[in-house]
């Protein structure tokens, strides 16, 4: 087996990290983390600001190179085959990343084009998507005229328009109220039902409850990784918030 073939991961494993590390000089932002994510899973990546979760995610997306350790995403090595990975993932960043001065359908067409969705499929898929979101009347609206909650839904839908096997969400629901967050999570569940794996960072603990499994990062390490129910049991906590605070109390880095 040559180095460039997809490694033989269990069929249902889409992300596998082994001792993944990122150092900036003396500072170890991500410290030998290892975990795996199953296909169709909603994997919550939790941590205080500065705990290293964004850095870890950037390495998995190919935005940043790892210092040491290995990881495979969708069967490809992040150090060798980032081009292959990029075609198979979707990404939604912390900052709202659609173009405000483009119309809704133009944004969809743009990203669909970038991800190589065939031209003739774009238009029908766009209409179907807008119908599903209830945005039919906004097709020709400039994105800047939409409320924030709508923009986030649209942004997520654009990120999974090309049917990636994994979508990375970096604090996708910043700045919106819990009710809108719940609506947003409806979309995430729909995507997971279609077999798209969700990798989501957040610091809202109500969102952590929605995940199948969560990992909690403290000082660059993964200090806990399990389903929300098991974690609550293990730390004898009422909710994820308490779990998180018990773990974060030991943190040396402050956000």
Partner 1 sequence: MAFVRKEFHHIFRDKTSMLILLVMPILMLVLFGYALNTEVKNSKIAVYDPSRDEVTRAMVEKLQINNYFILKKVLNSASEAEKAFQSGEVSMVIVFSDHFYENLMHGGYAQIQLLADGSDPNTASIITTYATTILSGYQMELMKTGKIPYLITPEIKLLYNPSMVAAYNFVPGVMGMILLLICAMMTSVSITREKERGTMEVLLVSPMKPLYVILSKAVPYFFLSLVNLATILLIANFIMHVPIAGSLFWLLVISLVYIFVCLTLGLLISTIVDTQMAALIISAIGLMMPVMLMSGMMFPIENMPVYIRWISDIIPARWYIEAIRKIMIMGLGFSAIIQELSILVGMGIVLIVISLRKFKIRLE
Choose which of 1, 3, 24, 95 interacts with partner 1 (CB under 8 A).
Answer: 95
Chain positions 111 to 130 lying near partner 1, rule: CB under 8 A, are 111, 113-116
Chain positions 152 to 181 lying near partner 1, rule: CB under 8 A, are 168
Chain positions 19 to 58 lying near partner 1, rule: CB under 8 A, are none
Residue 199 found at the interface with partner 1 (CB under 8 A): no
**Span near partner 1 by CB under 8 A; candidates 18-26, 89-97, 129-137, 225-233:** 89-97
**Span near partner 1 by CB under 8 A; candidates 2-10, 14-22, 109-117, 232-240:** 109-117
Residue 64 found at the interface with partner 1 (CB under 8 A): yes
Query: How far is it, in rounded angstroms, from Cα 155 to Cα 175?
Result: 15
Query: How far is it, in rounded angstroms, from Cα 24 to Cα 35?
Result: 22
> C-beta of 244: minimal distance to partner 1 in Å?
26
3-state secondary structure of 218: strand
Choose which of 9, 39, 63, 125 interacts with partner 1 (CB under 8 A).
Answer: 63
Where are the alpha helices (H) located in the chain, listed in sequence order?
53-61, 82-88, 104-114, 119-133, 148-159, 178-193, 205-210, 228-234, 240-248
**Residue 90's beta-bridge partner residues?**
167
Residue 106 found at the interface with partner 1 (CB under 8 A): yes
Q: Residue 243 has which token pair? A: 């779990």
- Whether the CB-CB separation of 20 and 33 falls below 8 Å is answered with yes
| Number of alpha carbons in the 13 Å side-chain half-sphere of residue 13 | 14
Query: How many residues belong to the site for partner 1 (CB under 8 A)?
Result: 31
DSSP string over 15-34: EEEEEEEEEETTEEEEEEEE
Query: How far is it, in rounded angstroms, from Cα 55 to Cα 65?
Result: 10
- If the CB atoms of residues 44 and 62 are measured against partner 1, the closer one turns out to be 62
- If the CB atoms of residues 111 and 150 are measured against partner 1, the closer one turns out to be 111
**Span near partner 1 by CB under 8 A; candidates 32-40, 92-100, 132-140, 171-179:** 92-100
Query: How far is it, in rounded angstroms, from Cα 63 to Cα 55?
Result: 9
**Span near partner 1 by CB under 8 A; candidates 20-28, 94-102, 133-141, 230-238:** 94-102
Give the DSSP letter of residue 205.
H
**Span near partner 1 by CB under 8 A; candidates 28-36, 68-76, 100-108, 132-140:** 100-108
Distance of CA 229 to the CA centre of its chain: 21
Note the residues at the interface with partner 1 (CB under 8 A): 61-65, 83, 86-87, 89, 91-102, 106, 109-111, 113-116, 142, 168
């Amino acid at each position: 087996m040559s180095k460039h073939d997809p490694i033989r991961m269990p069929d249902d494993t889409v992300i596998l990290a082994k001792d993944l590390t990122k150092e900036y000089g003396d500072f170890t932002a991500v410290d030998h983390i290892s975990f795996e994510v199953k296909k169709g899973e909603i994997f919550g990546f939790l941590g205080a600001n500065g705990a290293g979760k964004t850095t870890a995610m950037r390495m998995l997306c190919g935005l940043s190179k790892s210092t040491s350790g290995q990881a495979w995403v969708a069967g490809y090595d992040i150090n060798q085959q980032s081009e292959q990975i990029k075609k198979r993932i979707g990404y939604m960043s912390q900052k709202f990343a659609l173009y405000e001065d483009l119309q809704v359908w133009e944004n969809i067409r743009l990203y669909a084009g970038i991800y190589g969705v065939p031209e003739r499929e774009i238009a029908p898929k766009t209409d179907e998507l807008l119908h599903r979101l209830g945005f039919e009347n906004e097709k020709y609206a400039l994105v800047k005229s939409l409320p924030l909650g709508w923009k986030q839904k649209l942004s997520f839908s654009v990120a999974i328009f090309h049917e990636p096997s994994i979508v990375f969400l970096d604090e996708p629901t910043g700045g919106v109220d819990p009710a809108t967050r719940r609506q947003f999570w409806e979309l995430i569940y729909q995507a997971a039902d279609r077999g798209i794996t969700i990798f989501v960072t957040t610091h809202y603990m109500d969102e952590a409850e929605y995940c199948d499994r969560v990992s909690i990062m403290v000082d660059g390490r993964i200090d806990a990784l399990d389903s929300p129910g098991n974690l609550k049991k293990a730390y004898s906590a009422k909710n994820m918030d308490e779990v998180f605070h018990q773990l974060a109390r030991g943190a040396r880095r402050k956000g």
